[in-house]
Chain A
Amino acid sequence: MNPQLLSDGQPVDPSDERLVAYLDGELDIVDRDQLEQELVDDVALRTRLQELQRGWDLLDELPDATPSEKLVETTMELVISDLTKASRTNRKWWQRVPLVVPLAVVCSLSAALGYGFVELRRQAAFDRELDDLRLVENLDAYLDGSDLKLMRTLAGNADWRRVVDALKIGESNSSVVTDNPAIAKTDDQRLLHLSEMPDQELGSLAAAWASFQNFNDATRAKIRRTAETVSLQTDADELLATMKDYSLWKASLPTELIDAIEGNTSASPIEGTEPLSRDDAIEQAITLTQERTRRESSRLLSESTIKTIMSLLEHILKQRLEDPASPTSIAKARAEKWAYERYAGHVDHERIQNMLMAALTDDGRPRPTSYLKVPGMNDKELELLEIWLPSEDLRNLDILSGDVPMLRASALKTWAAAAVSRSTEHVEMSVLDSYRMLSDGERQRYDLGPPEGLQRKLTENQRDRRYSRRGGGRSSRSSTTESDHE
């Protein structure tokens, strides 16, 4: 039993090498077929093949390795301690500590020990606070999203994802939670993140921290447990992102829907109605959010987008008015007639133009211009609007409405109406403004007259200006002056 073994430098029998390559599946098809033919014909070669394979098969006798259950845990502890050590060498105010310690040692051993003890305790408390800070960064998510089953249900709902994305369009700066789940995973990253955090976010974080500190021990323990449970999930990052989204969504929902979604047993349905199932409640809440986000999305339109929309509306109106028999031309003629009669021959064409545009973008809600009977924007005009929109607004439109034509049309109409409303908006005129708008001659006349006369005149001016705002007059200065001539 004294086998002579081949060292790495010794040549190996080419036949053995070929057999081993065959056993390892490393021969190409041609060589393999050829060898298999030889194996059929050559008993000795077949025996050699079996011998080489048998030793290999015996490797199955080796038991599986069974690492200690603590291996993962201790490895992660080492990684974290490694990171902490590395980060401390980078911290400027940390670097001062080694200067203090030797001085203290020189002065007095006991003082150094005392310092060390205090420092250790301070460090331990600091580390604990940093751990809690990780929770506080996502406090709302942990508080609202502890039902992981619900979170996974929502994450799998495409409609929910879309409305939450739409909801987030205008909320990006208002959330305490960090957008990047990878941020603040380690102590040093958290410190770095804190040092670079804008004041507003820092203030929000401080408020969340204060809330966390005000919770009782049981609530704090529950939040820590939720965070730990989430961190142990294989989809922890995605789960936390869903929890943050849910928290944001939840804040926009009425209580009865939240209770139905979360399955709160204390939730009492409206008398005479069946309690909502979770699925129905989610569906209703999604519809509600869709309506809300569409309504609110118009306030996100930039000034340049408003101008773009207004230019297009002017273009559309011009095209419609080219046909004198079109309903828009008829409506315009009626409005001009009305203004002529109302202002004794003085017609404010700009105001009428604005009134027509307001009627054009009428979204069905009662408005002073509804009587104009101008047909709303048709599909072709809406399509044109979509083409004219800047890409950023188009992205928002996609998030809001996806590929659903009805939703897209509805959002576009809302935006067009908002553009008209915003571009014709006027600052409320004060009494002083009204006084300043009087001509010099008028001012002199009213100044010399009884105060009641001046007051009546100024009040009339303000009333006219308010009307102009409702009716869509772009500039009421001229209309006010016209009314003066009545």
Chain B
Amino acid sequence: MRYQQSDPDVRLMLRVKEDDAAAFETLVRRYQTRLVRLMQHMGPREMAEDLAQETFLRVYRARTRYEPGAKFATWLYTIAGNVARNANRSAGRRNEVIEVDAPLGNDSAGGMMLASAATDESGMMPTRLVEKTERADIVRQAIEQLGSRQRMALMLSRFENLSYAEIAEAMGLSSKAVKSLLSRARVNLREILQPYIDAGVIPQEPK
């Protein structure tokens, strides 16, 4: 009841439950960008829009079973997580560690690409301060090296501003587990990106 009163998206979803297609369209418009961004990092990148759409469809099909027990976003991201996991399983990408939560480590192609971006042919000196798009590539590849659960927790915390408790609900974990996941994610990001910062490829301070 509390969420029904405070979360406008819950109220919209309750209208969707009553087969109000216009309310559903509002929700799609409201969440499409965020869901596509999440899917760009959680599923096969080229399928991000398809996966976002699949998530919306599942939400609609599940409308009659919806009960406003939490923030709407939490429920949506639970479904999104399942859709991404299924898509990754189907894609069967051997080079990416999806189902096991081990990071890619030092033999990943992504890591090699990052290395080449950061150093010259001798492997010793930084070539240049990279452009914004390249910096984005470096960061994206850094995220890809994280395990899927760390990545999901990172996306929900950093971009969706969910609390530990909300992330725990969306991912079916305890708050303590989320705390550990996010700590590992931060530490790992630091491990991956620090060399670029040290080498001057990425500026020390945010631009």
Contacts and interface: CB of A to CB of B under 8 A. Distances in A.
A186 interface: yes
B85 interface: no
Contact of A65 (B48, B183, B192): B48
Interface stretch (A34-42, A55-63, A207-215, A339-347): A55-63
A82 B60 contact: yes
A186 B16 CA distance: 12
B96 to A, nearest CB: 14
Interface in A35-73: 51-52, 54-68, 71-72
Interface stretch (A4-12, A99-107, A405-413): A4-12
A65 B28 contact: no
A6 B184 contact: yes
B74 interface: no
Chain B CB within 10 A, most for which of A9, A16, A65: A65
A235 to B, nearest CB: 10
B71 interface: no
Nearest to B132: A61
A182 B139 CA distance: 46
Contact of A5 (B15, B40, B49, B145): B145
B33 A17 contact: no
Contact of B60 (A79, A182, A237): A79
A74 to B, nearest CB: 7
Contacts of B174: none
A450 interface: no
B80 interface: no
A82 B60 CA distance: 10
Interface string A391-423: 000000000000000000000000000000000
Central interface residue in B40, B57, B143, B186, by most chain A CB within 10 Å: B186
B189 interface: yes
Interface range for A: 35 or more
A68 B53 CA distance: 11
A75 interface: yes
B101 A8 contact: yes
Interface string B16-56: 00111110111011001110110010000000110011001
Contacts of A5: 103-105, 145-146, 188, 191-192
Q: Is the interface of B mostly helix, strand, loop or mixed?
A: helix
A26 interface: yes
B19 A185 contact: yes
Contacts of B69: none
B190 interface: yes
A234 B26 contact: yes
B25 A68 contact: no
Given A26-B163, A67-B33, A185-B20, A78 B53 contact: yes
A46 to B, nearest CB: 15
Contact of B181 (A3, A8, A185, A231): A8
Interface in B117-162: 118-119, 132-133, 135-136, 138-140, 142-143, 145-147, 149-150, 154, 157-159
Given A4-B106, A5-B103, A182-B19, A65 B37 contact: yes
B186 A189 contact: no
Given A8-B150, A67-B36, A75 B18 contact: no
Contacts of B163: 26
A15 to B, nearest CB: 10
Given A3-B188, A5-B105, A74-B53, A62 B139 contact: yes
B204 to A, nearest CB: 8
Contact of B184 (A10, A65, A182): A10
Interface string A173-215: 0000000001001100100000000000000000000000000
B190 A55 contact: yes
Contacts of A56: 158, 186, 189
B102 A61 contact: no
B193 to A, nearest CB: 5
A59 B182 CA distance: 14
B10 interface: no
Contacts of B194: 51, 54-55
Contacts of A2: 105-106, 111
A185 to B, nearest CB: 5
A21 B49 contact: no
Given A10-B184, A55-B189, A63 B179 contact: no
Contacts of A26: 163-164, 179
Contacts of A237: 20, 22
A236 interface: yes
A30 interface: no
Contacts of B181: 8
Interface in A68-108: 68, 71-72, 74-76, 78-80, 82
Question: When A and B form their complex, which 9 residue pairs have the shortest distance between CB atoms, in order from nearest?
Answer: A55-B189, A2-B106, A65-B37, A5-B103, A3-B191, A8-B101, A65-B36, A17-B183, A6-B184
17 contacts: A1-B119, A1-B195, A5-B146, A7-B184, A12-B184, A16-B186, A17-B180, A20-B179, A20-B187, A21-B183, A52-B187, A56-B186, A58-B189, A62-B37, A71-B32, A185-B20, A185-B21
Given A54-B193, A71-B28, A78-B53, 7 more contacts: A4-B106, A8-B147, A52-B190, A54-B204, A64-B33, A72-B28, A74-B53
